[in-house]
Structure 1
Amino acid sequence: MFPIDFFWRAAQRWPARVAIDAPEGSICYDALADRVAALAAGLTALDPTPQSRVGICAGNSAEHIAALLAVLACGKVWVPLNPKSTRSEIRRIVDVTEPSILVFDAACAELLEGAPGVRVCIGAAQGARPAGSTLADLVRDGAGAPRPVIDLPPDATQAIKFTGGTTGVPKGVMQPYRAWMANIVNQIHAWGFDEHERYVVAAPITHGTSTYILPVLAQGGCHVLPDGAGAQAVRAAFRERGGSACFMPPTLIYMLMALPGAARSDYPRLRRLIYGAAPMPPEKIHAVRAFFGPVLGTTYGQTEAPQVLSVMRPEDFEDPHNVSAVGRVTWFNDLAIMAPDGRLLPAGEVGEVVARGDLLMTGYWRLPEKTAETLAGGWLHTGDRGLIDARGYLHLRDRLKDMVISGGFNVYPVDVENALGQHPAVYECAVFGLPDEKWGETVQAAVQLHPGQVADEAALVAFVRERLGPVQTPKRIHFHDSLPRSPVGKVLKSAVRDAALAALKSVPDAS
């Protein structure tokens, strides 16, 4: 059995049920299955090579979901391309993975300009005919095609998702079929999805939301696509269209609570509000539960072990001892705490969180040395520090890896430092994260300029934004005559971070 088989079986069992409720109309399971089979045939006709890569760069839509399912159905490898990225970042990923087919919507066409690969457009802007094929062409040409048969081992790659490395060599995480199978089973088990589920697709399909597409469809549920972007549209999907479950970053949850006239009655069918991609402080957990009721849950995972290494169900939060926890280990996986010397530590002791089992990646795309380092000794070394208590709950303490999570997106300081360091006035810089009520963390930079050079904060912010996009752009630039250093000359990030915190605290209205 393969991940796509969950969808095929659901289409056979609930052909007349609505699978996707989009602003432009609803699609039932039988119609979606026919569309996916036709698209799979079309993709295979464009490139019959098994396990060839297909990049998809698009916003959330019913067509995006159908295209993703078609990639899974024909035994190809999905490469999600973040539509919020810059053209250079997209091109870097395309050059590394070499997808033979690129699927995109009109809004993302410019991001893929000049990239190799056969083009397949989701629709066309203002009726214009794009270069290459359209999704509609593939559906028409593949109409009536039988469902493909996949014959690949469990360790074959289902997706290559990228984590960090947008400057220099990016790391493409190879997620195998077995990892997707483990995710699907654990999501269904954890959240109790059934044929009455109406899952609101609020976060990007290119990110964590993708791990919920098949679990909901497997049980005959429906994906509800909001009519527009932003918190207002998400609230309307719950209030007016019966949304019952959703995965989103904490930032969006806080925005929903802050909407004018916000009330629990806006969410009449909500039973599972799952947060992830960033931590939620205990005081925020209490506030969210007070507003939405006992529906909050969370998961812990990484791109290298997608989404569900551990699960924290709403009922787990009833115990006040669990407010700082991220749940207990899921099926088909093991979690442990490891000392620097490789010893597994007993309950209550802090060390690195390590994992093994079906959920793990097979490695990083074409990076064998990095793969061996991360999967040393048969364990995934997560780079997170934490402990497992006597009851089996995982509590995270901090991150060994120098990463900032802002608004649910991972930002690697080295990427921002490399971009900022290209400015002719910058002598050296250090990038770090600071706590933020809205975003979880914000990206900050400490900069030392070359003697005699001048550059203001706005100029440096614009310089980075042009190269990396808004997510990785520092919110503040802190200037130093001389950055603090260790005896061997290394910049002390802890010192610049402490100085930035002190500076922000001394200015109450700083933003």
Structure 2
Amino acid sequence: MQPIDFLLRTANAFPHRIALEADDVSMTYGELARQVSALAAAFQDIDPVPGSRVAICAGNSVPHVVALMAVLAAGKTWVPLNPRSAGPELARIIDFTTPSILVFDEAHREQACYAVPAGTRRLVCGTSSAEPNSVAGLLVAWQGRVPRRQSRDLSDIQAIKFTGGTTGAPKGVMQSLRAWNATVVSILTAMQLQDDERYLAVASITHGTSTFLLPVFACGGTIVLASSTRPKSVLEQLESGRITATFMPPTLIYDLLDEPGVAKRDWSKLRHMVYAAAPMRADRIAQTIEVFGTLETSFGQTEAPAVIAFMPSIELRNSERHGSVGRATPLTEIGIMAPDGRLLPPGETGEIVVRGDLLMSGYWRQPEKTAETIVDGWLHTGDGGYLDREGFLYLKDRLRDVVISGGFNVYPTDVENALGKHPAVCRCAVFGVADPRWGEAVHAAVQLRPGTEVSADTLRGVVRARLGPVQTPKQIHFLDSLPLTANGKVSKQALRDQLANTDGKAHFPKETLAS
């Protein structure tokens, strides 16, 4: 079975159900399957080689979903291009993966086509034009056609996703058909999705949303594309659209919680509000559950997508679990490893390692990086953490993010959670700065809630009272806003750059610049 079969089976059984909604447009499973088949047949005509790459650079739209599903149906390899990336970066990825087809929408034509090889077929999507070099034109020309079924092994590559990581240039993560199948089954099992799901796609299809498309299609639910990512608009669509499930980073959830009147809205339909991509403060977890009635979390990486571990709402309601990201999903094994390769017992902190069907096949054309990351079948995540005796996983930051101050390990999330206890703190990030006395000094960047004030000394007192003097920031930087990555995480690299440019006293050691 191939990943696309999760969609095709539902389309065959329930052709009249609504598969996709966007603004005033809705598409049934039958129509979606027909468009996917026609475009997949066109892709095979353009390039008949099985497994060849198709790159897509577009915002969230119905044509984008159709194009992505067509890549799978054509037996090709999907290369998502982040539409927020600059032209030179996308050109580097295109040159590295050599796609034979490039699909882009008009809004991102400039960066997608920054430097495209002459042999790459360019197709614009999201237009009603019937010109040959458009998705719409191909759908008209190939209407009623179906692609040749490709005989593919489950170890064949379904996608090459680029991860910025924290160690330099992005790497192309090769995700196999087996890994995609494992992701779908793991999400279906962990979330217990139902046939009436209405999933609001807020995150980009090139990132988190792509992970949830096939699970929702597999259960016969509806993907609703967000009309806007502005907090007020998201709240309105969540409520009026009778949304049952969504995924978003903590930063967006914080913004939703801070919107006036959020607690007075009707959230009775919402069953799954999943956060991931970054840790969430304990106080905000409790607030989210109180306001929305639900909150779930998952832990994953591009190298092991989305659901290494999952925490359902019923478990997260226990305040003792607010620091955990859940337990291993059925097809995945989690271990905690010491630097010497020993697996550690419950309660001991080390590197989180993972094995199972969820794992990537390796990094595209980087065998040495693959060998460093997958050792004896275990994927080394680079994240620190521990397992308790019940199998719940607790994260303790990226190993390279740990601040070693005066010989003591300081975990930034611990300090961030302490700072977040003060009601004036909206967002915060903690990191290390080279210091002649301490080796590294703990620094914090803080964004305050509108209309509030608090001194650095007061915030330091909050941390000292909860964690002690070692973890207390030596310096607190107040910023109007904290820079975010495309995934909605606070970018500590951007913070360091910003503070280094505005504070001549700050010196950031080379080994921390890639965090």
With normalisation by structure 1, the TM-score equals 0.80
Per the TM alignment, residue 289 of structure 1 is displaced from its structure 2 partner at its CA by 1.1
Report if the CA contact (8 A) 1:200-1:243 is conserved. Answer: yes
Q: Which residue of 1 aligns with 2:201?
A: 201
Q: Which residue of 2 aligns with 1:396?
A: 395
Q: Which residue of 1 aligns with 2:112?
A: 112
Report if the CA contact (8 A) 2:44-2:147 is conserved. Answer: no
Cα offsets for 1:124-171 (capped at 9, x unmatched)? 4xx8888x6111111112211135413111111111011127997531
The aligned amino acid for 1:238 is: L
- Are the structure 2 counterparts of residues 106 and 19 from structure 1 closer, same or farther at C-alpha, using a change threshold of 3 Å? same
Report if the CA contact (8 A) 2:400-2:512 is conserved. Answer: no
Please state if 1:305 is matched with 2:304. Answer: yes
Query: Aligned partners of 1:177, 1:129: CA distance in 2, in Å?
Result: 33
- Are the structure 2 counterparts of residues 128 and 434 from structure 1 closer, same or farther at C-alpha, using a change threshold of 3 Å? farther
Report if the CA contact (8 A) 1:55-1:101 is conserved. Answer: yes
SS in 1 for 2:139: helix
SS in 2 for 1:289: helix
Q: Which residue of 1 aligns with 2:138?
A: 138
Report if the CA contact (8 A) 1:77-1:160 is conserved. Answer: yes
Q: Which residue of 2 aligns with 1:151?
A: 151
Structure 2: runs of 5 or more not aligned: 403-411, 417-428, 432-439, 450-484
The aligned amino acid for 2:54 is: V
Quick one: which of 471, 476, 480 aligns to 2:498? 476
Q: Which residue of 2 aligns with 1:453?
A: none
The aligned amino acid for 1:25 is: V
Per the TM alignment, residue 378 of structure 1 is displaced from its structure 2 partner at its CA by 1.3
Report if the CA contact (8 A) 1:238-1:268 is conserved. Answer: no
Report if the CA contact (8 A) 1:54-1:78 is conserved. Answer: yes
SS in 2 for 1:476: helix
Query: Aligned partners of 2:204, 2:48: CA distance in 1, in Å?
Result: 29
Query: Aligned partners of 1:438, 1:302: CA distance in 2, in Å?
Result: 30
Q: Which residue of 2 aligns with 1:422?
A: none
Report if the CA contact (8 A) 1:179-1:360 is conserved. Answer: yes
The aligned amino acid for 2:27 is: I
Query: Aligned partners of 1:340, 1:237: CA distance in 2, in Å?
Result: 47
SS in 2 for 1:69: helix
Query: Aligned partners of 2:307, 2:445: CA distance in 1, in Å?
Result: 25
- Are the structure 2 counterparts of residues 264 and 377 from structure 1 closer, same or farther at C-alpha, using a change threshold of 3 Å? farther
Report if the CA contact (8 A) 1:264-1:292 is conserved. Answer: no
Q: Within 5 A, what are the aligned runs for 1:176-191? A: 176-191=176-191
Report if the CA contact (8 A) 2:250-2:278 is conserved. Answer: yes
Query: Aligned partners of 1:23, 1:161: CA distance in 2, in Å?
Result: 28
Cα offsets for 1:84-142 (capped at 9, x unmatched)? 11111111111111111111111000012332221110134xx8888x61111111122
Q: Which residue of 2 aligns with 1:210?
A: 210
Per the TM alignment, residue 317 of structure 1 is displaced from its structure 2 partner at its CA by 1.2
Query: Aligned partners of 1:325, 1:123: CA distance in 2, in Å?
Result: 41
Please state if 1:89 is matched with 2:72. Answer: no
Report if the CA contact (8 A) 2:200-2:245 is conserved. Answer: yes
Query: Aligned partners of 1:287, 1:437: CA distance in 2, in Å?
Result: 19
Q: Within 5 A, what are the aligned runs for 1:64-463? A: 64-113=64-113, 114-116=115-117, 117-124=120-127, 133-164=133-164, 169-293=169-293, 295-402=294-401, 434=444
Per the TM alignment, residue 51 of structure 1 is displaced from its structure 2 partner at its CA by 0.7
CA RMSD across the alignment:
3.1
SS in 1 for 2:326: strand
- Are the structure 2 counterparts of residues 222 and 483 from structure 1 closer, same or farther at C-alpha, using a change threshold of 3 Å? closer
Per the TM alignment, residue 331 of structure 1 is displaced from its structure 2 partner at its CA by 1.2
Per the TM alignment, residue 261 of structure 1 is displaced from its structure 2 partner at its CA by 2.5
Report if the CA contact (8 A) 1:182-1:331 is conserved. Answer: no
The aligned amino acid for 2:498 is: R
The aligned amino acid for 2:359 is: L
Per the TM alignment, residue 332 of structure 1 is displaced from its structure 2 partner at its CA by 1.4
Per the TM alignment, residue 389 of structure 1 is displaced from its structure 2 partner at its CA by 0.3
SS in 2 for 1:119: strand
SS in 2 for 1:308: strand
Query: Aligned partners of 1:316, 1:172: CA distance in 2, in Å?
Result: 35
- Are the structure 2 counterparts of residues 158 and 312 from structure 1 closer, same or farther at C-alpha, using a change threshold of 3 Å? same
Per the TM alignment, residue 299 of structure 1 is displaced from its structure 2 partner at its CA by 0.4
Query: Aligned partners of 2:130, 2:229: CA distance in 1, in Å?
Result: 26
Structure 1: runs of 5 or more not aligned: 414-429, 440-464, 498-511
SS in 1 for 2:229: coil
Per the TM alignment, residue 482 of structure 1 is displaced from its structure 2 partner at its CA by 7.0
SS in 2 for 1:3: coil
Per the TM alignment, residue 24 of structure 1 is displaced from its structure 2 partner at its CA by 3.4
SS in 2 for 1:326: coil
Per the TM alignment, residue 349 of structure 1 is displaced from its structure 2 partner at its CA by 0.7
Per the TM alignment, residue 437 of structure 1 is displaced from its structure 2 partner at its CA by 6.1
Report if the CA contact (8 A) 1:235-1:266 is conserved. Answer: no
- Are the structure 2 counterparts of residues 318 and 128 from structure 1 closer, same or farther at C-alpha, using a change threshold of 3 Å? closer
Report if the CA contact (8 A) 1:78-1:159 is conserved. Answer: yes
- Are the structure 2 counterparts of residues 151 and 329 from structure 1 closer, same or farther at C-alpha, using a change threshold of 3 Å? same
Per the TM alignment, residue 320 of structure 1 is displaced from its structure 2 partner at its CA by 2.4
Query: Aligned partners of 2:80, 2:155: CA distance in 1, in Å?
Result: 19
Report if the CA contact (8 A) 1:238-1:269 is conserved. Answer: no
Report if the CA contact (8 A) 1:92-1:166 is conserved. Answer: no
Query: Aligned partners of 1:92, 1:296: CA distance in 2, in Å?
Result: 38
With normalisation by structure 2, the TM-score equals 0.79
Q: Which residue of 1 aligns with 2:425?
A: none
Query: Aligned partners of 1:484, 1:112: CA distance in 2, in Å?
Result: 36
Report if the CA contact (8 A) 1:224-1:237 is conserved. Answer: no
Query: Aligned partners of 2:82, 2:249: CA distance in 1, in Å?
Result: 16
Per the TM alignment, residue 234 of structure 1 is displaced from its structure 2 partner at its CA by 1.6
Q: Which residue of 1 aligns with 2:473?
A: none
Q: Which residue of 2 aligns with 1:420?
A: none
Per the TM alignment, residue 325 of structure 1 is displaced from its structure 2 partner at its CA by 0.4
SS in 1 for 2:499: strand
SS in 2 for 1:94: helix
More displaced stretch, 233-242 vs 176-185: 233-242
Q: Sequence identity, in percent?
A: 45
The aligned amino acid for 2:389 is: A
Query: Aligned partners of 1:128, 1:176: CA distance in 2, in Å?
Result: 34
Query: Aligned partners of 1:53, 1:335: CA distance in 2, in Å?
Result: 32
Q: Which residue of 2 aligns with 1:421?
A: none
Report if the CA contact (8 A) 1:484-1:491 is conserved. Answer: no
The aligned amino acid for 2:126 is: G
Please state if 1:58 is matched with 2:66. Answer: no
